[in-house]
């Protein structure tokens, strides 16, 4: 999906502000309100990462560094977004994304309201559009939402007067997850560069919004990206390279041996039973036997391979329990970094809102 309905995201690749395009990227002083900072951020929403330039990704990474410094303080809180009302509206279950957005918003001194769709008027048949209009009428400036329908946050962004942050929509996108994955890699890989690094996404890519967002960020940063899994769970990905990824390194394969050989990073994905239609997999047991990430299979990768998983995990299916807690695993760091990355995104987007439009 393109960012057509992101009102600030057109012609993304060609119009980066000069300070971003030239590589002079400075983190904002995040103790201060964002509208007092000179920051070359121009997006009103975070709907996906497909429209972010490499320079803009660098800005998110630098801002996340600054947020990590805040989180290292005895009191990990700044007044930067005091007076900002954030509503978190989730139509699907979540632990990591929902909680870390809430913690992130509170660390920036926002006021936060949580709405579970199951206990709201959505259960009486209220539409998404009416729900979003109601949330705005109740004073929300920023809306974090998760929805089972791909594209739902784009619709919300059309009717909501503030910023919409996509916390995961259907199979389509999970932008804050891709940004925290990128940040985790940049702070784990010696030297911090993904250029030429072999990154393997292994598992149920077909149903994975995490894979779809990560494809954009990882290839934008120069990674040699491999998508691996049973052919039934790779449908549609071959066409991606031809459609929109000229110049990016991207391989799709069912050959686990070829994918894992000399890999720098392996990210296992959950088998999404709730989205799976019949006939795609013979059984979870057979999947685990053929594609589960085990210590034995990991021996084909580089000895210092970085092991990732966005969570929640099905241990013993897509990843063995001992692999998940291996010293090379950064799964817990991914969760921790989620707070700093989401603080960075709330801060950058609030700057746009408080200035009344584009940077
Ligand atoms: N990775 C992720 O989105 O986890 P949650 O479903 O717990 O938010």
* Domain annotation covers residue 1: no
My answer on whether 158 and 26 are in the same domain is yes
**φ, ψ of residue 224 in degrees (nearest 5):** -95, 95
Q: Is residue 179, in this structure, part of any structural domain at all? A: no
199 and 57 belong to one structural domain: no
As a whole number of angstroms, the distance between CA 271 and CA 223 comes to 24
Task: For residue 349, give its domain range.
Answer: 12-174+338-355
Instruction: HSE, CB side, 13 Å, CA atoms: give it for residue 10.
Output: 3
The dihedral over CA atoms of 151, 156, 161, 163, expressed in degrees to the nearest 10, equals -50
The reply to whether 29 and 143 lie within a common domain is yes
Establish if 292 belongs to a structural domain.
yes
164 shares its domain with 33: yes
CA–centroid distance, 174 to ligand 1, in Å, is 9
Cα–Cα distance, 30 to 56 (Å, whole number)? 17
Could you give the CA distance from residue 12 to residue 43 in angstroms, rounded to a whole number?
A: 10
Which residue among 90, 94, 100, 275 is best mutated to probe the pocket of ligand 1, counting the most ligand atoms within 8 A of its Cβ? 94
Is there a domain that residue 182 lies in? no
Classify the phi-psi angles of 279: left when phi > 0, otherwise alpha if psi is within -120 to 50, otherwise beta. left
The reply to whether 57 and 167 lie within a common domain is yes
- Statement to judge: residues 199 and 232 lie in one domain: yes
What value, to the nearest 5°, has the Cα angle with vertex 295 and ends 291 and 300?
75
Give the number of domains in the chain: 2
CB 100 within 8 A of CB 155: no
- Among the residues of the chain, which ranges form H helices? 18-21, 54-71, 96-107, 128-137, 152-159, 175-186, 209-220, 238-244, 256-260, 284-291, 295-298, 321-324, 331-355
Q: Which pLDDT belongs to residue 16?
A: 40
Predicted pLDDT of residue 248: 86
Looking at the CA of residue 99, tell me the nearest atom of ligand 1. Answer: 8
What pLDDT score does 37 carry?
Answer: 92
pLDDT in tens, 269-284: 998 776 666 667 778 8
Residues 247 and 307 placed together within one structural domain of the fold: yes
Q: How far is CA 234 from the centre of its chain?
A: 20
- For ligand 1, mutation pick of 312, 330, 341 (most atoms within 8 Å of CB): 312
Same domain, 260 and 146: no
214 alpha carbon – ligand 1 mean position (Å): 14
Residues 6+ apart with CB under 8 A from 243: none
With the most atoms of ligand 1 within 8 angstroms of its CB, the residue from 177, 275, 332 to mutate is 177
Place of tokens 């894992």: 260
Specify the CATH number for the domain of residue 245: 3.40.50.1370
The Å distance, Cα 90 to ligand 1 centre, comes to: 11
148 and 278 fall within a common domain? no
3-state secondary structure 190-253: CCCCCCCCEEEEECCCCCCHHHHHHHHHHHHCCCEEEEECCHHHCCCCHHHHHHHCCCCEEEEE
Residues with CB under 6 A from ligand 1: 94-97, 168, 177, 310-312
Kindly list the distances between the CA atom of residue 236 and the CA atoms of 240, 256, 281, in Å, as whole numbers in the listed order.
7, 19, 17
Cα dist from 224 to 37, 118, 185, whole Å: 35, 41, 14
Of 39, 23, 65, nearest to 353 by C-alpha is 39
Measured from the Cα of 95, ligand 1's closest atom is: 7
Coil vs helix vs strand at 348: helix
The alpha carbon of 323 and the centre of ligand 1 are apart by a number of angstroms equal to 20
Residue 159 lies in a domain: yes
Is 247 found in the same domain as 282?
A: yes
Query: Any bridge partners for residue 288, and if so which?
Result: none
Residues 39 and 142 in one domain: yes
Q: Take residue 260 and report the two structure tokens written for it.
A: 């894992």
Q: Are residues 342 and 324 in the same domain?
A: no
Residue nearest to atom 4 of ligand 1 (CA): 96
For every one of its 359 residues, what pLDDT tens digit does the chain have, with 9 covering 90 and above? Answer: 433 333 333 323 333 443 444 457 889 999 999 999 988 899 999 999 999 999 999 999 999 999 999 999 999 999 999 999 999 999 999 999 999 999 999 999 999 999 988 888 888 888 999 999 999 999 999 999 999 999 999 999 999 999 999 999 999 999 999 999 999 999 999 999 999 999 999 999 999 999 999 999 999 999 999 999 999 999 888 777 665 566 789 999 999 999 999 999 999 999 877 666 666 777 888 888 999 999 999 999 999 999 999 999 999 999 999 999 999 999 999 999 999 999 999 999 999 988 886 54
Residue 146 lies in a domain: yes
Which residue from 92, 96, 184 has its CB within 8 A of the most atoms of ligand 1, so it is best to mutate?
96
Q: Which pLDDT does position 236 carry in this prediction?
A: 86
Q: What local confidence, expressed as pLDDT, does residue 275 receive?
A: 66
Q: What is the Cα–Cα distance from 285 to 233, expressed in whole angstroms?
A: 16
Token pair listed for 102: 């809430």
SS3 of 172, please? coil
This model's pTM is above 0.85: yes
**Tokens representing 37?**
């900072």
The 10s digit of each residue's pLDDT in 32-60 is 999 999 888 999 999 999 999 999 999 99
Which tokens in the block code for residue 313? 């995990």
Residue 125 falls within a domain, yes or no?
A: yes
Give phi and psi for 145, each to the nearest 5: -140, 150
From residue 235, give the alpha-carbon distance in Å to each of 208, 230, 300.
12, 9, 25
Examine residue 276 and state whether it is found in any structural domain, yes or no.
yes
How many angstroms is it from 310 CA to the middle of ligand 1?
7
Closest-lying ligand 1 atom to the alpha carbon of residue 174: 3
Atom 3 (ligand 1) nearest CA: 97
């Amino acid at each position: 999906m393109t960012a057509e309905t992101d009102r600030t995201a057109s012609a993304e690749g060609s119009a980066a502000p000069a300070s971003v395009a030239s590589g002079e990227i400075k983190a904002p002083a995040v103790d201060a309100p964002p509208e007092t900072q000179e920051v070359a951020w121009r997006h009103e929403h975070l709907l996906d990462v497909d429209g972010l330039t490499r320079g803009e990704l660098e800005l998110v990474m630098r801002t996340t560094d600054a947020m990590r410094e805040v989180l290292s303080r005895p009191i990990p809180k700044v007044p930067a977004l005091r007076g900002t009302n954030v509503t978190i509206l989730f139509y699907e279950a979540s632990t990591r994304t929902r909680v870390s957005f809430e913690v992130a918003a509170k660390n920036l001194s926002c006021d936060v309201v949580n709405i579970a769709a199951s206990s709201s008027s959505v259960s009486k048949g209220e539409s998404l559009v009416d729900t979003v209009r109601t949330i705005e009428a109740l004073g929300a400036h920023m809306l974090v939402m998760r929805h089972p329908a791909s594209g739902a946050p784009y619709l919300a962004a059309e009717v909501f007067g503030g910023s919409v942050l996509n916390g995961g929509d259907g199979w389509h996108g999970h932008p804050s997850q891709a940004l925290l994955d990128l940040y985790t890699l940049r702070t784990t890989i010696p030297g911090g560069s993904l250029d030429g690094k072999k990154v393997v996404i292994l598992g149920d890519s077909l149903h994975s919004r995490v894979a779809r967002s990560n494809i954009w960020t990882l290839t934008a940063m120069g990674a040699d990206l491999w998508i691996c899994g049973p052919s039934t769970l790779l449908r549609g990905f071959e066409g991606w390279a031809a459609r929109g990824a000229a110049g990016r390194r991207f391989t799709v394969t069912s050959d686990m041996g070829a994918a894992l050989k000399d890999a720098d990073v392996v990210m296992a994905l959950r088998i999404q039973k709730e989205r799976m239609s019949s006939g795609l997999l013979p059984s979870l047991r057979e999947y685990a036997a053929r594609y589960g990430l085990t210590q034995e299979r990991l021996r084909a990768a580089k000895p210092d391979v970085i092991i990732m998983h966005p969570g929640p995990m099905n241990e013993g299916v897509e990843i063995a329990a001992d692999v998940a807690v291996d010293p090379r695993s950064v799964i817990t760091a991914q969760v921790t970094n989620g707070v700093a990355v989401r603080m960075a995104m709330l801060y950058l987007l609030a700057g746009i809102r408080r200035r009344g439009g584009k940077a």
